[in-house]
Amino acid sequence: MTRFLCTPGGRIAGSLRVPGDKSISHRSIILASLAIGRSHIRGFLQGEDSLNTIRAFRAMGVEIARDGDRVEVDGVGMRGLQAPADDLDMGNSGTAMRLLLGLLAGQQFDSCLVGDVSLSGRPMGRVIDPLQAMGAVIDSSTGGRAPLRIHGGKPLHAIDYDMPVASAQVKSCLLLAGLYADGETRVREPAPTRDHTERMLRGFGCRVETDGAEIRLAGGQSLAACDVDVPADISSAAFFLVAASIAPGSDLQLRHVGINPTRTGVIEILRLMGADIELLDPREIGGEPIADIRVRSARLHGIDIPPELVPLAIDEFPVLFVAAANASGQTRLTGAEELRVKESDRIQVMADGLATLGVDARPQADGIVIEGGSYGGGRVDSHGDHRIAMAFSVASLRADGAIEIDDCANVNTSFPGFVGLAREAGIGIEADDA
């Protein structure tokens, strides 16, 4: 059991680079493994979630060499994966489980996806249902939960699918299955979601067409090896964007951050709240837009978060709730029921933790209402959710007392080295491994 101990106060300053983007790291291993030839990946996230994806493809016969954040993958082609000897353990990663489910549905061998207690409690019906409509045969536990047993050798046919909920994981799952399907798979999303899969598929030589909200992909295509430069993860940078915004006298620069327009909702929301955020030296590397980001302390004010920005910031809301607690007035979020089926029920867990500190936070079925103001210290439970743990670490910058955060070990799944980098930036944090 790991606990974070955070002393109140502090100022955020300096220049730092957060670890590589988790979404792109997952996808780089998946597509490089299916490509023909050797792909080189740099900036790879060395967190447990991403490393589990490497282990899964090694178990399916792919040769992968890693030296820190540099990875070489000798792809085996679309039909070169081998049956794993054991279950494929995705640990805490819903992204890896959902994307691999689509890929494994098109293989000739049987396989089984498992995860930790948290992941095993997350519903997978939103990907199982459309995959079964494509012809996949998948057995799951009650409520469409892991373990997920995929019966190989089942021919897949293309699907024309309107997603009921905006989800990049569902979209990516179906596109990967579509690579193995007869015909053209069409997916329409109700709101824009991160498009890393489409961009990276094109980088590996696959033809993917986008027409407004519709994404089209023809089955039977092959992939060619390519090099991938993984930018710093904006979801990880978000903790420092909020930290520097709320801590008086702060001035921080974040280097080489991915600013894909389907991921910048956190920047847009913070700017609407009055944050002082500047994008420096915008550029494009490997099809992904990147910039350095300068953020300085500012007086934040509460807002009604625009519904169109919700899918573009879905992973960043825990720390955005901390920003709201430090803003003048009321912040209201709606249309975010997706937050209730993440690594934890992020609406309820954040509301409980904020209430412990003395913040007026009222959870709603699809969101939350937060009244900004001063708050104290206390002991909160992250429920094993890495983003909850890091969010309350940021909250300590403006707390009137120390904050203790329980169950923080899973921070290493997405942000290895968080404690050291947070201390370097100016947050008074220590990790206590009981």
CB 85 within 8 A of CB 75: no
Structure tokens at 358: 């003395």
**Strand duo 63-67 + 70-76: pairing:** antiparallel
**How is 169-221 classified by DSSP, letter by letter?**
HHHHHHHHHHTTEESEEEEE-SS----HHHHHHHHTT--EEEETTEEEEETT-
CB 9 within 8 A of CB 428: yes
The CB-side HSE value for 111 (13 A sphere, CA atoms) comes to 28
Determine the 3-state secondary structure of 126 from DSSP.
Answer: helix
Other CB atoms within 10 Å distance of the CB of residue 151: 15
Does residue 162 carry a catalytic annotation? no
Which of the residues 21, 195, 315, 381 is marked catalytic? Answer: 315
Structure tokens at 420: 């050291």
Question: Residue 120 contacts by C-beta under 8 Å, 6 or more apart in sequence?
Answer: 114, 141, 145, 146, 147
**Which residues are identified as catalytic?**
315
